[in-house]
Amino acid sequence: MNEYKLQGLSCGNCAREMEEEINKLENGEGSRILYNSSKLVLSDGVDMKSVEKILTADGAAIVKNQHDDHAHGHAHDHSHGHGDNMRMKILLGLSVIIFGSAIYVDTQTTSLLPVFMYLTAAATSGYPTFIKGAKNLLKLKFNIDTLMTIALVGAFSIGEWKEGTLVAILFGVNELLEGMGMEKARKSMEELLKVAPKEAVLISGGKERIVPIGSLDIGDLVLVKSGEKIPSDGVVESGKSSVNEAAITGEAMPVEKEMGEIVYGGSINNEGVLKVRISKAYQDSSLAKILHLVEEAQETKTPTEQFINKFAGYYTPLIMAISGLVMLVPPLLFNGDWGSWFYQGLAVLIVGCPCALILSSPIAIVSGIARNAKNGILVKGGVFLEQLGKIDTIAFDKTGTLTKGHPYVEKMFVYKKEEFFEVAGSIEKSSSHPIARAVIEKLATEDVSYREPEEINTVSGQGVTAVLDGKTYRVGNEKSIGFPPAEEVSQHIAELKAGGYTLVIVSSESEVLGIFGVTDEIREESRAIIGELYAAGIKNAVMLTGDHDKTAEKVAKQVGLTDYYSSLLPNEKVEKVKELTAKGKTAMVGDGINDAPALATADLGIAMGKGTDSAIETADIVLMQDHLGKLPSAISIAKRVNKIIKLNISLALGLKLIALLLTIPGLLTLWIAILSDMGATILVTLISLTVMIGEKKKKTA
């Protein structure tokens, strides 16, 4: 497949028709015109002359001298949309001046001069439409250009000079607005893509030189000065600074970075100088993957869009049939006036334009995807954005999602303080187990001196046995105690178990020295976010966890979940997700690694993972932060986009239906017909763009 940037692509319906024609060419199957991003994807072996002929017939063209945007191969051309719009504005301005002059001259003379002026005004604003329409008519291809050409020729043939010219001008304005609306949405997406760094300062052989980021290899050392972008994912080798990771996570707050810490390509170094060892080639970096997926996301067709495109194929022929009936039935059956009903039929033809209908979805979808991406929420396609707006149940994994995934000691019962701390620290200090780390972190606040165990053994299902100064000690769960504990100890064990704690019991051969109650720290924001999700229209928020019941119950109560399911194995999580999806639209939220099967089973998989490859690859939606803070806003944006699309479809069809109903009393005029389409296009475009306007208002608030 080969990709080309297009110019002059301002009509969604025309793009659909051109794509169908290219697919009919030899080797053309599978070629696509990506209207949202103004691109052409061609199959290998297609005759380029034939493709260019199809594009030219509809006023589109391949941008010449395309250049690759360093390293990631996105072809950009920012001037063509502006140039096309400016030319169109100048022609429309001239046309309006000539039209106004023609109306004045018409009141002053009975000569043919006003007619000539009307025709000049119509040709100035509408000549591209007439040329395309005439070519289509010869091929018996009926689209909006053909319909407009027939309507205008018909209007002029019955002496409706003024009205025909007004229709030509209004149609030109309509085309301009349609192109500008989509261009606005595309620009918001292009602004997003500009965050990609272009160059890097490579340190090689003790010298610094500027290189394109595409030439960087894994292991290269780069210098990042204050205010510069980090060229690709890597590890800080020297230096200390705060870094703005908004391009990756959508978070405005800077993150402190020092030696040994991971940094992401596209992040901005705020102050100081960092030397970064590159760990990924740019095209494999988190930012490159995000930008690639966001670009791809624009072009996935939602079920609604697929239905609209299919419907548009039947809509125009249906309107043409109605137009024929309007022209013929009243004069033949009801003695109507041929001239007036011919005029009504021409007006009906104009109502046959499905442009506003086809435009009802893409601008809103692109705006929604771009706005979410700016917030650090990666939606992999319009279809997933639409799904997100329909979700009523969210299932959460516990560890690392609702909790920090970082065990810590919350409670302690101490019976022999000095011996308890010394034994626990001496045995756990060399372990990399998360619970052992939690114990060592707790002991760091105490004045403890550790000893080196003479012998240490792991006992499966119990814990660790060790010998210190000839005495045997045990650190582990309840089963590790080799004797009946004292009554006080038994009470404390029961209390901790009832509270959902994981127990770390430290004992000698004859007595319990102390107990650590370890738990996974609940994220401070979890409860507030669950509340926001309910406010955003989510009916059920449930937790799926492999932890035992008491721990699950404790977390569920603290964060305000409607339900929880505990002691689940990975395959049981999948079964539980299937049960939930059978009852309603369900999203599964996890870390994208161990929850992959459940994420894939749900109607929508949402991963959180600050740029981790597995998170980006597994889920339909990725929260690029390491928390759930942006999830409620993502759902609100998705619901808003869905509402806007429904409203747009209603407006596009509603205004046309009103225009058609005006034919019954014979009140439909050419200018009312074009205004119904133009009004729908303007409303659909402006309403769709409010998704992005909302973002700007929020920023300035």
The helix/strand/coil state of 32 is strand
Which of 522, 539, 565 corresponds to the end of one domain? 522
Q: Where are the alpha helices (DSSP H) in 75-160?
A: 80-108, 113-138, 144-157
Average pLDDT rounded to a whole number, residues 2-24: 79
Judge contact between 273 and 241, C-beta under 8 A: yes
Q: Of residues 223 and 177, which shows the higher confidence score?
A: 223
pLDDT of residue 54: 82
Above pLDDT 90, what percent of the chain? 26
Question: Does 174 share its domain with 308?
Answer: yes
pLDDT of residue 77: 41
Residues 6+ apart with CB under 8 A from 440: 425, 428, 429
Q: Residue 10's pLDDT band (boundaries 50, 70, 90)?
A: low
Q: Cα–Cα–Cα angle for 53, 54, 59, nearest 5°?
A: 90
In a domain, 197, yes or no: no
Q: What CATH number is attached to the domain comprising 435?
A: 3.40.1110.10
Question: Does 409 share its domain with 514?
Answer: yes
Strand pairing report for 512-522 and 502-507: antiparallel
Sheet holding 2-7, edge to edge: 32-34, 39-42, 2-7, 61-62
Judge contact between 540 and 589, C-beta under 8 A: no
Highest mean predicted confidence (pLDDT) among 59-68, 277-286, 637-646: 637-646
For residue 355, which of 24, 676, 690 has the smallest C-alpha distance? 676
DSSP letter for 271, please: S
| Cα distances (angstroms) measured from residue 19 to each of 47, 62, 142, 528 | 14, 14, 16, 48
Residue 519 token pair: 């738990």
| Cα distances (angstroms) measured from residue 343 to each of 146, 151, 502, 666 | 17, 9, 83, 10
Give me the number of domains the chain comprises: 5
Q: Which of 51-60, 238-247, 398-407, 592-601 has the lowest mean pLDDT?
A: 592-601
Q: What CATH number is attached to the domain comprising 49?
A: 3.30.70.100
Average pLDDT rounded to a whole number, residues 388-404: 89
pLDDT of residue 604: 93
| From 397, 620, 626, 677, the catalytic residue | 397
Average pLDDT rounded to a whole number, residues 380-408: 88
Taking only the tens place, the pLDDT of each residue in 302-340 is 778 778 777 777 777 888 888 889 889 999 998 888 888
Residue 245 token pair: 């990771």
Q: What CATH number is attached to the domain comprising 387?
A: 3.40.50.1000
Q: Residue 192's pLDDT band (boundaries 50, 70, 90)?
A: low
Which of 66, 81, 103 corresponds to the end of one domain? 66
Dist CA 525 CA 559 (whole Å): 9
| Cα distances (angstroms) measured from residue 552 to each of 241, 287, 529 | 39, 36, 18
In a domain, 203, yes or no: no
Question: Does 516 share its domain with 409?
Answer: yes
Residue 238 lies in domain: 217-280
Q: Which helix (H) or strand (E) holds 377?
A: strand 377-379
Q: Residue 616's pLDDT band (boundaries 50, 70, 90)?
A: low
Question: Does 394 share its domain with 533?
Answer: yes
Q: Where are the alpha helices (DSSP H) in 466-622?
A: 487-498, 526-535, 549-559, 570-583, 596-601, 613-618
In a domain, 625, yes or no: yes
Question: Does 137 share its domain with 237?
Answer: no
In a domain, 206, yes or no: no
Question: Does 252 share its domain with 309?
Answer: no
Q: Residue 559's pLDDT band (boundaries 50, 70, 90)?
A: very high
In a domain, 84, yes or no: no
Which of 490, 522, 554 corresponds to the end of one domain? 522
pLDDT of residue 579: 94
pLDDT of residue 28: 84
DSSP letter for 453, please: -
Taking only the tens place, the pLDDT of each residue in 649-676 is 999 888 888 888 888 887 888 778 877 8
Question: Does 515 share its domain with 596?
Answer: no
Q: Is 397 a catalytic residue?
A: yes
Q: Residue 647's pLDDT band (boundaries 50, 70, 90)?
A: very high
Q: Which of 118-132, 188-202, 234-248, 579-593 has the lowest mean pLDDT?
A: 188-202
pLDDT of residue 541: 94
In a domain, 75, yes or no: no
Report residue 8: phi and psi, to 5°: 75, 15
Taking only the tens place, the pLDDT of each residue in 453-490 is 999 988 877 889 999 989 999 999 888 888 899 999 99
Q: Residue 701's pLDDT band (boundaries 50, 70, 90)?
A: very low
Q: Residue 356's pLDDT band (boundaries 50, 70, 90)?
A: confident
Question: Does 156 share its domain with 118?
Answer: yes
Average pLDDT rounded to a whole number, residues 17-36: 83
Q: What CATH number is attached to the domain comprising 239?
A: 2.70.150.10
Mean pLDDT rounded to a whole number for the chain = 83
In a domain, 125, yes or no: yes
Dist CA 597 CA 573 (whole Å): 8
Average pLDDT rounded to a whole number, residues 69-98: 63
Question: Does 332 share its domain with 376?
Answer: no
Question: Does 529 share its domain with 517?
Answer: no
Highest mean predicted confidence (pLDDT) among 12-21, 485-494, 595-604: 485-494
Longest dimension (CA), the chain: 123
Which residues on adjacent β-strands are paired with residue 229?
268
Dist CA 466 CA 262 (whole Å): 37
Average pLDDT rounded to a whole number, residues 57-68: 68
Question: Does 618 share its domain with 645?
Answer: no
| Cα distances (angstroms) measured from residue 8 to each of 38, 86, 527, 558, 564 | 9, 12, 50, 56, 54
Q: Which helix (H) or strand (E) holds 320?
A: helix 303-334
Question: Does 382 share its domain with 417?
Answer: no
Taking only the tens place, the pLDDT of each residue in 30-57 is 888 877 677 888 888 888 888 888 888 7
Strand pairing report for 540-544 and 393-397: parallel
pLDDT of residue 75: 38
Q: Of residues 516 and 678, which shows the higher confidence score?
A: 516
pLDDT of residue 84: 61
pLDDT of residue 698: 46
Dist CA 325 CA 323 (whole Å): 5
Average pLDDT rounded to a whole number, residues 576-599: 85
In a domain, 442, yes or no: yes
pLDDT of residue 5: 81
pTM of the model: 0.73
